[in-house]
Structure 1
Amino acid sequence: MTGEWWMALGGGVLIGLSATVLLWLNGRIAGASGIFNGVVFPRAGDVSWRVAFLVGLVVSAGLYMAFVPGAPQPRTDFPRAGLIVAGLLVGFGARMGNGCTSGHGVCGLGRLSGRSLAAVLAFMATAVATTFFVRHLWSWA
């Protein structure tokens, strides 16, 4: 992956552009947890763009993994129960923080939101602590 910095840069530019286009054209923040929440608990006339956004996330990642040589692949050696617990904890944290990393990190910081800065700092501190715990203190990782 060394020397492939341009792919990370390109991905960041595409994320920023898609968030900007969604805000300009739809007046919505590109927060994945809020978009998903709007599909699970729908309001009339507010579902189709959310489904399209989520399908686009999944399909584009699948196309990237299928057609880009050397693209990172998901790990398969984690216990399923651990993944379920982790997913529930992330969902709980996103709900408690009133948004996720895409909403606060991409859109909120771009709008110079102090609340989003606090949320991103909390997300990052938790991610560092969790990574240390899983890689160095937990035996199955």
Structure 2
Amino acid sequence: MSTSKRIVLSSDHAAIPLRQAIATHVAARGWEVVDIGPVTPESTHYPDHGAAAARRVASGDCGLGIILCGTGQGIMMAANKIKGIRCGVCSDAFSARMIRQHNDANMLSIGARVVGEGLALDIVDAFLNATFEGGRHGTRVDMITALEG
């Protein structure tokens, strides 16, 4: 399977059930899921999980990534420290669609303590169904990439 249909999922302990529901949902839509998150509820560190998933995307092993923690914020911050990653935290489907269409986001972050499962699956679908529009947005994405140094 091509990397464009491989998606990495990870989370900290706070988001295991939602991550597993998303994994099932995404797999049912034809994606090869690479789930690298924890499976037991012991406390874990979201920066480790965010960076590990981001490295899979940055290396090309996976085309996209979805990461989760309690708010989605901390794990997103960690992922964005990896060169080549553009990750946004989303609590609504519109934002998830826009980060793909306008920002060419290659990762999505969701807060498991912020949104319920039904909304999370809608957010995931909006993210996965959207494509980058290019044009003036390409110039802006290039400007973001240039900030990586």
TM-score (normalised: structure 1): 0.30
Judging by fraction of residues, say which structure has more helix: 1
Structure with a larger share of its residues in strand? 2
Larger radius of gyration: 1
